[in-house]
Structure formats: structure tokens, C-alpha cells
Amino acid sequence: MANDKIRNFCIIAHIDHGKSTLADRILEKTETVAIRDMEDQLLDNMDIERERGITIKARAVRLKYTAKDGEDYIFNLIDTPGHVDFNYEVSRSLAACEGAILVVDASQGIEAQTLANTYLAIEHDLEVVPVVNKIDLPSADPERVCSEVESIIGIPAMDAPKISAKMGVNIEEVLERIVTDIPAPQGDPEKPLKALIFDSYYDSYKGVIIYVRVKEGRVKVGDNIRLMATGAVFNVVEAGFMDATTLVNNGSLEAGEVGYIAASIKSIGDTQVGDTVTCDDRPCDEPLPGYRKVNPMVFSGIYPADGAKYGDLREALEKLQLNDASLSFEPETSIALGFGFRCGFLGLLHMEIIQERLEREYNLDLVTTAPSVIYKVTMTNGEVQYIDNPTNYPDPAVIQVAEEPMVKASILAPSEFVGNIMELCQDRRGVFKDMKYLDDTRVELHYELPLNEIVYDFFDVLKSRTKGYASFDYEMMGYVPSKLVKLDILLNGEIVDALSFIIHTDKAYSRARKIAEKLKENIPRQLFEVPIQAAIGGKIIARETVKAMRKDVLAKCYGGDITRKKKLLEKQKEGKKRMRQLGTVEVPQEAFMSVLKLDS
């Protein structure tokens, strides 16, 4: 197939704006999937993705389309993750394309996420093809949305296809635009192999499957390939493409093509997204630009609710890591929670997804500690430490300067919510940068915010204060010095390590009080009184007490019938297992969880 008959593209859309539905319609129209095999939203094949309506991992599929000019074209649709946590994966997916379809909801308009990814696409020199979706909605206003696209993004949009992916309206127009507007790939098949890894996953039979975009040269079965960042060399077993449901081993891939390579790769750690694949015998001079190792941004301790399930948890994490190189974990011990793992995530959504998959797919009951970011601490002796676990936070006496990570945040919302948003950002120690009106009713706000203020629940609160209309995106901007303290929670005079966290001084008092109150609500009255204290260093800044229970007795044990007493004893024994025993204090799992969700 000549390069000029290939189109490599992705779809950019905000959550719920209809990306997956459009992808399904395209698959249908190109008859890649027989109608009877159609499952709604075929590309998202993880349960969680389908339920949350988001795409977690990129995938790619090859489609065949006969255009109105009578020619057959090959479409490679590369599905991209839609969330900021996966920003880097998005950028690598974009680097594999020549064009992007920008899907905008005809009633909602452009959202922060879409904007960020569209700018990213433009940065990568992609041809952006706007499409206005959901024209079947009563509230649809395609004209307004088109002019919004023109004024905000600065690309012509008045003649954008106006479609309803749900109803299958005007899908062919989109397909024609792909042919006419998106450039064919460049690249010389005779040059040394140069291919970009934009995704990978672990297959229990074939080992790691890498998804590549071949930029130069060709790769075929039997070749020795080298992954340039890691230097690892593998022998190609399969090379081909993906149709909607299976891998098709074609024997080779050439410049311009998108496809997969299987090479008996055992560890997904070897196949880092963004890395360049070349030929071991005839390597290219230099790798493709833009590779970087993905580093976790948010950390949290994950513990099995039942200590006996520690081994199961490790196995589950190892399995998830096979498919998700950005997940990191190492063993950690907590006095309060026992044996568990310190896990690193790309962001909050990533963390939630991992937790949910552990609970759902591996049937584990988990206790999770409050998420923490990485703090940079310069000691008085000049040594610099990066702290991702509050337990390891040094004594304030030996800290010269403590710094915390900041993000540049962009928030898009209807103008009526500006007050609420500003209040929230201020409350989260945000520094206002600027605000501009996108049109008469919508504004874009820019703030600098500490990452630790948004890792808890920022997005949830933002949503609730804007009736769900605000969208939010952020990028890292580095470290700034900050007045940080470590807040410890003590139960019955003992520090509960799992509840410690690092916080800005100004926030410490109110948070300490809230935590103490929440714990009081969630720790049941028990045999002994439970003093709850919050402390910075040795100084107690908040205090509550769970009074001892007064009465827990079976008064009557009549006629020698002790079965009831024994049953009760068994029940209490069982109940005890569900509690965390901290000295003489019994703390239910819910108490730990409640502290994580303070502001709701």
C-alpha cells in the first residue's frame, strides 16, 4: 500500500462528548466490524473505561475505507487517553498521527481538556479537523460552537461536519474529511528503521505487544530490533496490524504504517512509551525526539484490609504493572495498617483507577492512605531529599528549606461561576494569573496551584460548585518554597503513621480540627476511652475524645443456655478482625477512609 493511501489520525474530545461513539460509528461505516459483533464503544474494552466513559490506554485499529474518489484508503485510528494524568501518553499518541479529529459537543462547547489536547496536537503539527457532535440534542447550537472553535483555537470551523454519532448522522462526511484534509504520512522505507512506541500491553501468550508508528524504514518477522532508551534487543516474532478485535500478523510494517510488534518481550518495563525502535544490525543515527521516562506524581500507601491478603495484593499489583509501566510500587510497613505498598501514580485519576481495578478485578478489600505529592526538602547540611511519604518527613530542626510542587491550572466554565471558582482556588492557596472571556458566557481562568491542594478532591469540589460545568486541566511547573509542616494524628497517645500528612501551616489548624471530628464520628465507642489528638511536632493543635462505651452485657444467661453468649463472643471476635488494632484502640476501616474525604 502506497503511503498516499494511508491516513493516521486520532480523536480529541472531552469526556462524554462522544469520542467512543464516533469511533464505533467509523468502525461500522468502514465495515471493520460486522454489525452483529458491534458492542457499544468497542475500543474501550476495560469495564472501568466503559463505566466511566473515559479511555485509559491508547489503542489503535486499522480500517479500510473506499472514498468517493473511488480509491481504497487505509485508516489508522489511534485512540488516545482523555485525561490529564495521561498527558504524556497523549503526546506520544499524537506523535504517531498526521491529523486529529476534534469532537466538540454541540451544546457544551469546548472544555479545558479538549483545549489542552488540541494545543498539544497543533504543537505536533497535526492537521486538526473539527467536528460538531450531538446535533440531535434539543440544546444543540452548532453555529455558536463553530464560532467558538474559530475564536478560541483559531482554525476554520464554519464548514465543520455537523454530526450525531449516536444517530449515525453525517458520519461519511467525517470519513471524507479524513481523506481530503489529513495529510498522508511521509517517510522512506529504505532508510534504517525508526519507529515510535506509543503504547504497549502484556499478553500472557505472546509477551509484551508494542504498538508502533513506523517513521522510517521497515521491520519484518525475524529482524532483531533494538529499543533505544533501554538498549534491549529482541527478535521479532510477529509484525502486523490490529483490526477491531484481533491482531493480524502481516509479516512486516513499513514507513507510514501503524501496527504492532511481538518479540517475546517479557517485561513491560523494557517497552517504554515514547521510545524508538530501530534495527539492531542497521540502527538509525538518533532516536525520535520527545522521549522521557514517566515519573509518578502522586503517592499513596495501599494496604489489604485483611493482612493475610498481602501476597494477593502484591500479585495483583505485579499483574497490573505488566500493562501499566507508569504504576510503581514498593513494599511499605505501617504500624497502623501492617504490610502494604507505597504506590506511585501519574495523577489522581490514575490512582483511583488502579484502586478500583484492584478491588474489582482482583477482589481485594483495600485501605488507602491520603495521597501525597513529592516534597523537595533541603537539609541544613545542604543535602536534598525528595519525600513522597509523610512518615519520612525530616525533623523541622534539620530542614533548611522545604519546597512543594506547583501546577499551572486552567479552568473553563460558564462566567456565572467565576466567583465560586475564585473562592475555591483562593481557598486552595491558588495564585490568580489571568482570566479571559472565550465568548459572552464562557471564561477561561488561569491559576497557579500547589499540587497537594488538588490531589485530594479539588476536581470533585470544582464540579459541585459549578453544577458540573467547569472543566479543569493542569501541567506541572516546578517547585516553590513553602511553609510546610507534618501533621500527626494520635490515638490514645500513639501516632498513627498511616494518618500523618504534610500540609501548609495556614491549613494545619482547620484540617486538624476536621480530621479529629471525622475520626470521632467514625470510631465507635468501645471498651476504653479513645483520645484523638492532632499534633505538629510535639504540639497538640486539636483534640477530641470518643467516650468509653458504658454497657455491653448479656444480663441473663438463663437455664444454662450459653449458646447466645457464645454466639455473641464469636460475633465480637469476627468484628474485631474487621478493626485495626492500634494498641488498645480498635479503628474501623471506615475511619481511615473518612479522613481522606474531608471536604465532602
Partner 1 sequence: MSSLGLYFHVPFCGRKCGYCDFYSVCYRKEQAELYIQAVLRNIRHYSDLSRCTDTVYFGGGTPSLLVPEQLGQILDEAKDSFRLAENGEITLEANPSTLTLEKLQKLREIGINRLSIGVQSMNDEELSLLGRTHTAARAEKAVLEAAQAGFGNISCDLMIGLPGQTPQLLGRSIEKMAVLPIQHISAYILKIEAGTPFDCDQIRGALPGEDAQSELYLKAVEMLEKLGFSQYEVSNFAKPGSESRHNCRYWKCLDYIGIGPSAHSCCGGKRFAADPDIQRFVESPAQPVTVTDEAPCGFEERAMLLLRLREGLLLSNFPEHRKAIERKLPPLIKAGYAETDGERIWLTAKGFLMSNSVITYLIF
Question: Residues 576, 578, 599, 600: which binds partner 1 (CB under 8 A)?
Answer: 576
Measured distance CA(354)–CA(301) in Å, rounded: 12
Q: Kindly write out the interface string for residues 384-413 of this chain, putting x where it contacts partner 1 by CB under 8 A and - elsewhere.
A: ------------------------------
578 binds partner 1 (CB under 8 A): no
* The only residue of 557, 578, 597, 599 in contact with partner 1, by rule CB under 8 A: 557
Stretch that binds partner 1, among 283-291, 366-374, 418-426, 559-567 (CB under 8 A): 559-567
The answer to whether 308 contacts partner 1 (rule: CB under 8 A) is no
Task: Give min distance, CB of 336 to partner 1, in A.
Answer: 18
Q: Is 573 an interacting residue with respect to partner 1 (CB under 8 A)? A: yes
| Residue whose C-alpha cell reads 476554520 in the numeric block | 156
In three-state secondary structure terms, 316 is helix
Residue type at position 125: D
Rule CB under 8 A: is residue 563 a binding residue for partner 1?
A: yes
Show the binding pattern over residues 244-273: x = contacts partner 1 (CB under 8 A), - = does not. Answer: ------------------------------
Task: Please enumerate in sequence order all residues whose Cβ is within 8 A of that of 537, keeping only pairs 6 or more positions apart, or say none.
Answer: 396, 485, 486
Question: Binding segment for partner 1 among 206-214, 405-413, 565-573, 591-599 (CB under 8 A)?
Answer: 565-573
- Name the minimum Å distance from CB 490 to partner 1: 16
> Residue 37, interface with partner 1 (CB under 8 A)?
no
Q: Could you say which of 569, 578, 597, 599 contacts partner 1 (CB under 8 A)? A: 569
Report DSSP letters for 274-287, one per residue.
Answer: T-EEEESSS--SSP
Classify the C-alpha dihedral 161-165-170-173 as positive or negative.
positive
Among 71, 281, 561, 599, the residue binding partner 1 under the rule CB under 8 A is 561
- Note whether 29 and 77 are within 8 A (CB): no
Q: Is 554 in the site for partner 1 (CB under 8 A)?
A: yes
Beta strands at 6-13 and 72-79: parallel, antiparallel or unpaired: parallel
**Secondary structure of 341-357 as H, E, C letters:** EEEEECCHHHHHHHHHH
Least distance (Å) from partner 1 to the CB of residue 528?
Answer: 6
**Residue 504 β-bridge partners:** 484
Piece in contact with partner 1 (CB under 8 A), picked from 90-98, 226-234, 498-506, 549-557: 549-557
Would you say 36 or 573 has its CB closer to partner 1?
A: 573
Residue 238 vs 586, nearer CB to partner 1:
586
Q: How far is the CB of 488 from partner 1 (least distance, A)?
A: 22
Task: Tell me, rounded to whole angstroms, the distance of Cα 184 from its chain centroid.
Answer: 31
Q: Which is nearer to partner 1, 338 or 524 (CB)?
A: 524
Which region, judged by CB under 8 A, interacts with partner 1, from 61-69, 106-114, 410-418, 554-562? 554-562
3-state helix, strand, coil in the chain (%, to 5): 30, 35, 35
Residue number, 384 or 568, with CB nearest to partner 1? 568
Contact flag: residue 560 with partner 1 (CB under 8 A): yes
Say if residues 224 and 245 touch (Cβ distance below 8 Å).
Answer: no
d(CA 427, CA 425): 5
What the block records as the C-alpha cell of 45 is 474494552
Q: Does 529 bind partner 1 (CB under 8 A)?
A: yes
Q: Which of 167, 233, 248, 562 binds partner 1 (CB under 8 A)?
A: 562
Is the distance from CB of 447 to CB of 411 less than 8 angstroms?
Answer: yes
C-alpha cell at 116: 489542552
Is residue 213 within a helix (H) or strand (E), and if so which, with residue range? strand 207-216
Facing residues of 444 across strands?
Answer: 412, 436
- Verify binding: residue 539, partner 1, rule CB under 8 A: no
Buried b (16+ CB within 10 A) or exposed e, 2-36: ebebbbbbbbbbbbbbbbbbbbbbbbbebebbeee
144, 385, 526, 588: which one binds partner 1 (CB under 8 A)? 526
Q: Is residue 528 near partner 1 by the rule CB under 8 A?
A: yes
Residue 535 C-beta: closest distance to partner 1, Å: 22
Contact between 345 and 354 under an 8 Å Cβ cutoff? The reply is yes
> 511, 519 in Cβ contact below 8 A?
no
Write out the E strands in 305-430. 328-334, 338-345, 366-368, 375-379, 384-387, 399-414
**Nearest distance in Å: CB 573, partner 1:** 5
Q: In whole angstroms, what is the distance from residue 55 CA to residue 541 CA? A: 44
- Of 552, 578, 599, 600, the one binding partner 1 by CB under 8 A: 552
In the shown chain, the binding pattern of residues 480 to 519 toward partner 1, with x for contact by CB under 8 A and - for none, equals ----------------------------------------
Size of the site for partner 1 (CB under 8 A): 28
Candidates 166, 182, 135; CA nearest to 25 is 166
Contact pick of 34, 281, 527, 600 for partner 1 (by CB under 8 A) = 527
Applying CB under 8 A, the residues found at the interface with partner 1 are 526-529, 548-563, 565-566, 568-569, 572-573, 576, 584
